[in-house]
A and B are shown apart, each in its own frame.
Chain A
Amino acid sequence: MVRFLASVSAVALSLSLVAAPAQAEGQSRELLNTSYDIARELFADINPKFIAWWQAEQGETVSVKQSHGGSSTQARSIMQGLRADVVTFNQVTDVNVLAEAGLVANDWQAQYPNNASPYYSTTAFLVRKGNPKNIESWDDLAADGVELVFPNPKTSGNGRYTYLAAWGYADRAFGGDEAQIEAFMKDFLGNVEVFDTGGRGATTTFVERGIGDVLITFESEVNNIRNEYGVDDYEVVVPPVSILAEFPVAVVEDYAERNGNLDLARGYLDYLYTVEAQRLLAGYNYRVNDAGVAAEFSDRFPQAELLRVEDVFGSWPQAMQTHFANGAKLDQLQRR
């Protein structure tokens, strides 16, 4: 027994000796940014710049980890215990879900400029070379014989923006006449050839499989695809009226505090608003609010009237309820 105790205490002692120096040196802090699928490359670029910035500002070396997946899937993971410090999503509703769960502050949209959206985008069209079907605006997408590809609004935030943009356009074009709007939306949704579950899937379907006349997705993605797959093979059409797609960010306060990263998390989001980061974001074809940077990149972003979800649909929760909930408008429009 004595020998057993001795060996246990020896083991414990040696463990504490091993652990002690590590603690004394102070392990570098690690921030976990949880984000949507197609932002992988973007944040892979931003993170090293942020680390250098934090080093210069605070004199501390930190590391940043990324986690990517569908925005809603990510929100669900966080609710189930993924200890993310910050979220950088493409859907206001997915942050709202976290706020409801008490993980994010209720007034998160007021905590950072522009509704806590350091960058934004809109929904645009990618058409094949020469624009053979002559697609200029949403009208043309509801015409007979036009094949559309965009992600399923049921599974993708990107798809929801597309739906809302089309609806917003029709709302304006038909002066709010519900019957006409719904007829238009029926034609529009009826033209969909393939409903992928996410934005990148839709891109693959359109580009690699050659399905459809028009790919509808974020303007940022449209331009990146064109750069990736050949500037000459595709054309970008930004419709004169489209939707304002905000990319909300928030600190997951509950977890950040427990991780001892609250200041770091806040710093990370602050950084996204700096000129350096805004320029990087614009380089990835996201529209930014910094006036100087916006002017610098103005030739990339055609003028368009961007409708706010809150103005057309009341609020995000309301839009979700009337359009995307089980049995709501979208389901009715697709019903046989």
Chain B
Amino acid sequence: MTTASALTFKRQHRVLPGFGLSLGVSLTFISLVLLLPLTSLVGQLSNLSLSQYWFLITDPRIVASYSVTVGAAAVACVFNAGFGLLMAWVLVRYDFPGKRLVDALMDLPFALPTAVAGITLATLYSSNGWIGSLLEPTGLSIAYTWVGIALAMAFTSIPFVVRTVQPVLEDLPVEIDEAAVSLGAKDGHAFRRVILPHLWPALLTGTGLAFVRSLGEFGAVIFIAGGKPYETEITSLMIFVRLQEYDYAGASAVASIVLATSLLLLLIINLWQGRFIKRLHGGRG
């Protein structure tokens, strides 16, 4: 039985030429596009001793930029998790005129040059801007504070949440909601106990991706950040500053922190998601 299935596996015709060839090609391109640049980044670091490296990455001003960046990214993510879920829900479960347009608009932050987004946001939210001038009497200023940074990050990363949650929600038939409600669950209850458990992995992945994206965002944020030392300087600006000083090693050192954090987060998300799906499907991966 086992030998038979192994044989059929071997003889099976596939759409793409053989496993060996396609894997080889994929790995080559991964190396060229991803690994090679990363290796050269790490290569820059090899000019540094460990204590130099430590000194570069623990500069108080850079440490301050970490907390600004991470804090703003966290706020942006929490916002996106809620708003993105709502957006995906509306797009999947309701029909309304202009739905396709809203659906297409969701991808705009991906397509729009981030600098354009940054300038637009700064224009809108600065004290003489359209929204900023309305908020000014309330004492809430957005542009050139870290709220502005979080706003720009939320803007550029919202599609991650919507586009990861949307397909999962589409796979969940409306009958599930109806069954839950007909069995006596109130609206909120059905959502929490029946729908949300299925969405968790996707929601978490989307939010995690949004967070990672926000950590490295430069173009959109830089125009609204204000760049005040210790207050509104983001980490990618510090990398840019090091480059302006022709300090490649310093820039790579700071970049490596962002890179390591991002990689670690992505890994954790993947592992966690794998376990979650297993549990959800009763052990069938």
Contacts and interface: CB of A to CB of B under 8 A. Distances in A.
Contacts of A195: 226-229
Nearest to A327: B59
B228 A194 contact: yes
A37 to B, nearest CB: 13
B237 interface: yes
Nearest to A151: B227
Contact of A210 (B59, B60, B126): B126
A197 B129 contact: no
B240 A76 contact: no
B243 interface: yes
B232 to A, nearest CB: 8
Nearest to A320: B245
A73 B129 CA distance: 31
A209 B228 contact: no
B155 interface: no
Contacts of A76: 243, 246
A209 B237 contact: no
A40 to B, nearest CB: 17
A133 interface: no
A158 to B, nearest CB: 13
Contacts of B227: 152, 194-197
A209 B243 contact: no
B246 A211 contact: no
Given A193-B144, A208-B123, A335-B60, A201 B244 contact: no
A72 interface: yes
Contacts of A204: 119
Interface residues of A, number: 28
A336 B240 CA distance: 22
Interface string B228-248: 111000000100111111110
A326 B128 CA distance: 35
A194 B143 CA distance: 10
B contact residues, range: 20 to 34
B54 to A, nearest CB: 14
A46 B128 CA distance: 37
B45 to A, nearest CB: 16
Given A97-B246, A193-B226, A209 B241 contact: no
Nearest to B250: A326
B122 interface: yes
A211 B250 contact: no
Interface string A201-213: 1001000111100
Contacts of B119: 204
A331 interface: yes
A81 to B, nearest CB: 15
Interface string A62-93: 00000000101100100000000000000000
Contacts of A196: 227
A91 to B, nearest CB: 11
Given A72-B246, A210-B127, A155 B226 contact: no
A237 B223 CA distance: 27
Interface in B5-59: 59
B81 interface: no
Interface of B: 59-61, 119, 122-123, 126-129, 143-144, 222-223, 226-230, 237, 240-247, 250
Given A195-B226, A209-B123, A209-B143, 8 more contacts: A70-B244, A97-B246, A152-B241, A195-B228, A197-B227, A211-B144, A326-B242, A336-B60
